[in-house]
Chains A and B, each alone.
Chain A
Amino acid sequence: MSGPALHLAVEIDGDGAHPAAWRRATHSPDQLLTPRRVAGVAAVAENAGFTLVTLDDGVLPPGAAPDPVGRIGAVERAAFVAASTSTVGVAPVVSVTYAEPFHVSSQLASLDHISAGRAGWVVAEEERPEAARAWGRPPVADAEARARESRDGIEVARALWDSWEDDAVIRSVATSRYLDRDRLHYIDFTGETYAVKGPAIVPRPPQGQLVVLGRPDRVPAAQLDVGLVEGRDLASVARAAAAAGTPRVFAEVEVALDTPGATAAERVADLERHAAWSDRGRLRHIGSADQLVALLGELSRHLDGVRLHPLVLDEDLSVLSRLVLPALSERRLVARPLPGTSLRSTLGLERPANRYAVAATAAQEDAR
Chain B
Amino acid sequence: MTRTDPLDVPRPHAQLHFGVFFQGVNHWTIWSAPGSGSQIDPASFRKVAQTAERGLFDAFFLGEGLRLREVDGRIHDLDVAGRPDAITQLAALAAVTRRIGLVSTSNSTFNEPADLARRLSGLDLLSEGRAGWNVVTTDNAWTGANFRRGGYLDHADRYRRAEEFLTVARALWDGWEDGAVADSATARAWSAPGAVRQVRHRGPQFDVDLAPTLPRSAQGHPVIFQAGDSGEGRDFAARNADVVFSAHGNDFDDALTFADDLRRRLRAVGRPDDDLRILPGTEIIIGATEEEAQEKKQWIRLQQVTPATALGIAGLLWGIDLSDRDADGPLPKEDPVVTENDGSFGARRIADPRAVVAEWRAKAEAHGWSLRETVIALGPQRGHVGTPSGLADKFAHFVRHGAVDGFNVTPYLIPDGLDDIVDLLVPELQERGIYRTEYSGTTLRENLGLREPLTRRSAPDRRQAG
Contacts and interface: CB of A to CB of B under 8 A. Distances in A.
A143 B221 CA distance: 37
A69 B211 contact: yes
Contact of A70 (B145, B189, B193, B214): B214
A234 interface: no
B181 A30 contact: yes
B128 interface: yes
Contacts of B74: 181
Interface string A1-39: 000000000000000000000111101111011110011
B112 interface: yes
A100 B109 CA distance: 12
A356 to B, nearest CB: 14
A72 B96 CA distance: 18
The B interface, classified by DSSP as helix, strand, loop or mixed, is loop
B209 A133 contact: yes
B46 to A, nearest CB: 8
Given A136-B114, A199-B68, A35 B77 contact: no
Given A22-B190, A83-B42, A135-B115, A61 B211 contact: yes
B126 interface: yes
A312 to B, nearest CB: 11
Contacts of B93: 83
Interface in B120-148: 121-123, 125-128, 145-148
A106 B41 CA distance: 15
Interface string A184-214: 1000000001111111011100000000000
Contacts, number: 230
A106 B80 CA distance: 17
Nearest to B27: A178
B75 A177 contact: no
A79 B127 CA distance: 12
A199 B40 CA distance: 16
B190 A65 contact: yes
Q: Which of A27, A67, A79 has the most CB of B within 10 A?
A: A79
A33 B214 contact: yes
Interface residues of A, number: 78
Contacts of A247: none
Contacts of B376: none
Given A29-B181, A114-B84, A171-B31, A59 B78 contact: no
Interface string B36-63: 1001111000000000000000000000
B307 A176 contact: yes
Given A29-B185, A35-B94, A201-B83, 12 more contacts: A28-B184, A29-B181, A33-B181, A70-B213, A72-B126, A76-B123, A79-B92, A99-B115, A100-B110, A107-B87, A181-B75, A199-B68
Interface of A: 22-25, 27-30, 32-35, 38-39, 59-62, 65-73, 75-77, 79-84, 99-103, 106-107, 109-111, 113-114, 116, 130, 133-137, 164, 168-169, 171, 173, 175-181, 184, 193-199, 201-203
Interface of B: 31-32, 36, 39-42, 65-68, 74-75, 77-85, 87-89, 91-96, 110-115, 118-119, 121-123, 125-128, 145-148, 150, 176, 181-191, 193, 196, 206-211, 213-215, 306-309
14 contacts: A65-B193, A70-B215, A80-B126, A103-B110, A113-B84, A136-B208, A168-B82, A171-B36, A176-B306, A179-B81, A181-B77, A194-B148, A195-B145, A199-B68
